[in-house]
């Protein structure tokens, strides 16, 4: 580790004086000696003192092909020589058109329309409002369908609508009085089943609960929203196989729309382009963000079926329009980055590479599952959660105030690894360009750090 230079110390002081960081207890930020990232290269972050760190969580789950990918850099520069931004409110632009065409061609069947915005939270807000408005304007309107069903421990972003369908009390509890009331179904979290049944011989009781909700209250439900296959922010909760398909079937059976939030799982993370593909599910609305621009620029999209889109057509005076938009909707630089990212998928067989890396990562992680304070190692593709526990036998958690997960990530820094936990779940989500040597180093650093923080 290089020592902090005077310039780094000056930057840290200025940061502490003026910045307010997201999801960050600012009272102790001064003591955290934050890494000040000056540049990046492939899977590495390089700080202002020249230290290199493996970017173990892809810059908060969004980087796909590494930092400073030549093809994406050049696509943005080429677009910059034309125009950086023009509005989609009343005009069109080549990059937004071309990316929409490409997204529709690769998305699950039936999704034909692309509504752009700029973050995962806005993509979710838009899906919720579309679903709500659809039931008022569809050929046989059902205006009583105003409610949303979502999962406990679900996460869909931090704006008020997205938080309303969120199920993480620490994040969403305080603001409940400002939120609309969603109907929460149990999370398919087998390690800590809230229904108290034994996974494997429970007949997927959590899915049955959701089916029951739709059976009894379907007439007032506009849509079910969930993160397919893996609930990310809830703790990398990997769903049992078949859960998503059962939910999709129940939605169909009871006339309820299905919104899949693939903000985290989309664009190859789980080994397929979209997680829904694993279970042959075609949602009515699909939310995309994070990886959509390769992790370069803020961009998001909500994809809808032709049937939903059709409900918004009509004479102007009928006011069926979707009155929603954001200033930077469909930003040209971000869309150019998105197109370049999809070109890399096409030219470099990226999904095959994700599969190989996931297998290797799984092999490296196997010894961690045996550590005395690791309760469970969960993995789907290149999404990993390592749940730390005080007691393996009883699955007793550590007192939250001990911040073991955070301490593990802090320790990992000394091994040249930058990661960020979810409570006591240590998260690994490397970019797809990571070398095999870096995968091995990443896991070794995490193993050492866990040992340090839980055994010594």
Ligand X SMILES: *Cc1c(COP(=O)(O)O)cnc(C)c1O
Contact between 305 and 124 under an 8 Å Cβ cutoff? The reply is no
**Nearest residue (CB) to ligand X, 163 versus 450:** 163
Q: In the set 131, 153, 264, 386, which binds ligand X (CB under 6 A)?
A: 264
Terminal alpha carbon distance of the chain: 23
CB of 261 to ligand X, least distance (A): 5
CB of 33 to ligand X, least distance (A): 25
Beta bridge partners of 46: 39, 52
Rule CB under 6 A: is residue 121 a binding residue for ligand X?
yes
Residue 196-235 contact track with ligand X, rule CB under 6 A, x = bound = -------------------------------x----xx--
With contacts defined by CB under 6 A, name the span among 72-80, 130-138, 149-157, 431-439 that binds ligand X.
Answer: 149-157
Q: In the set 148, 155, 189, 328, which binds ligand X (CB under 6 A)?
A: 155
**Nearest residue (CB) to ligand X, 233 versus 333:** 233
DSSP output for 109-163: TTEEEEEEESSHHHHHHHHHHHHHHHHHHSSS--TT--EEEEETT----SSHHHH
Give the count of residues interacting with ligand X (CB under 6 A): 15
Rule CB under 6 A: is residue 108 a binding residue for ligand X?
no
Rule CB under 6 A: is residue 261 a binding residue for ligand X?
yes
Task: Write down the residue that tokens 């049955």 correspond to.
Answer: 208
Rule CB under 6 A: is residue 425 a binding residue for ligand X?
no
Rule CB under 6 A: is residue 311 a binding residue for ligand X?
no
Q: In the set 66, 157, 266, 375, which binds ligand X (CB under 6 A)?
A: 157
Rg (CA), the chain: 22
Whole-angstrom CA distances from 143 to 96, 132, 212 are: 33, 8, 22
Contact between 58 and 430 under an 8 Å Cβ cutoff? The reply is yes
Distance in angstroms (rounded) separating the CA atoms of residues 229 and 274: 10
Rule CB under 6 A: is residue 156 a binding residue for ligand X?
yes
**Nearest residue (CB) to ligand X, 230 versus 250:** 230
Distance in angstroms (rounded) separating the CA atoms of residues 36 and 163: 30
Whole-angstrom CA distances from 344 to 74, 216, 301, 328, 388 are: 13, 47, 20, 25, 36
Q: In the set 263, 354, 428, 450, which binds ligand X (CB under 6 A)?
A: 263
Rule CB under 6 A: is residue 95 a binding residue for ligand X?
no
Binding region for ligand X (CB under 6 A):
119-121, 124, 155-157, 227, 232-233, 261, 263-264, 289-290
């Amino acid at each position: 580790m290089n020592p902090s230079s005077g310039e780094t110390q000056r930057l840290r002081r200025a940061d502490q004086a003026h910045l307010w960081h997201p999801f960050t207890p600012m009272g102790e930020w001064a003591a955290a000696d934050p890494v000040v990232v000056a540049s990046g290269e492939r899977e590495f972050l390089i700080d202002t003192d020249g230290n290199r760190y493996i970017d173990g969580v892809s810059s908060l789950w969004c980087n796909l092909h590494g930092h400073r990918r030549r093809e994406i850099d050049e696509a943005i520069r080429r677009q910059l020589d034309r125009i950086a931004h023009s509005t989609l409110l009343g005009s069109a632009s080549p990059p937004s058109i071309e990316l929409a065409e490409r997204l529709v061609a690769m998305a699950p069947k039936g999704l034909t329309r692309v509504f752009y915005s700029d973050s995962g939270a806005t993509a979710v807000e838009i899906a919720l409002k579309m679903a709500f408005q659809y039931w008022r304007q569809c050929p046989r309107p059902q205006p009583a369908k105003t409610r949303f069903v979502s999962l406990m421990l679900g996460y869909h972003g931090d704006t008020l609508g997205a938080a309303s369908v969120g199920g993480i009390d620490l994040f969403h509890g305080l603001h409940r009085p400002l939120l609309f009331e969603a109907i929460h179904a149990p999370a398919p979290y087998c390690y800590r089943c809230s229904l108290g049944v034994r996974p494997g011989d429970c007949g997927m009781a959590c899915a049955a609960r959701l089916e029951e909700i739709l059976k009894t209250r379907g007439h007032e439900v506009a849509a079910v929203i969930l993160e397919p296959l893996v609930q990310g922010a809830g703790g990398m909760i990997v769903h049992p196989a078949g859960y998503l398909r059962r939910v999709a079937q129940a939605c169909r059976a009871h006339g309820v729309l299905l919104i899949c939030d693939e903000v985290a799982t989309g664009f190859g993370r789980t080994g397929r382009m979209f997680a829904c593909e694993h279970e042959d599910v075609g949602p009515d609305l699909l939310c995309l963000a994070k990886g959509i621009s390769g992790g370069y620029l803020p961009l998001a999209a909500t994809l809808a079926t032709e049937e939903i889109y059709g409900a918004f057509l009509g004479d102007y005076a009928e006011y069926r329009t979707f009155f929603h938009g954001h200033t930077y909707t469909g930003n040209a630089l971000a869309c150019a980055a998105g197109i370049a990212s999809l070109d890399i998928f096409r030219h470099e067989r990226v999904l095959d590479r994700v599969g190989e890396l996931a297998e290797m990562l799984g092999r490296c992680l196997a010894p961690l599952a045996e550590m005395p304070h690791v309760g469970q190692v969960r993995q789907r593709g290149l999404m990993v959660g390592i749940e730390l526990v005080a007691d393996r036998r009883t699955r007793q958690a550590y007192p939250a105030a001990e911040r073991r997960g955070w301490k593990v990530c802090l320790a990992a820094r000394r091994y040249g690894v930058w990661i960020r936990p979810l409570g006591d779940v240590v998260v690994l989500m490397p970019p797809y360009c990571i070398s095999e040597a870096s995968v091995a180093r990443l896991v070794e650093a995490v193993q050492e750090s866990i040992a340090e923080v839980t055994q010594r």
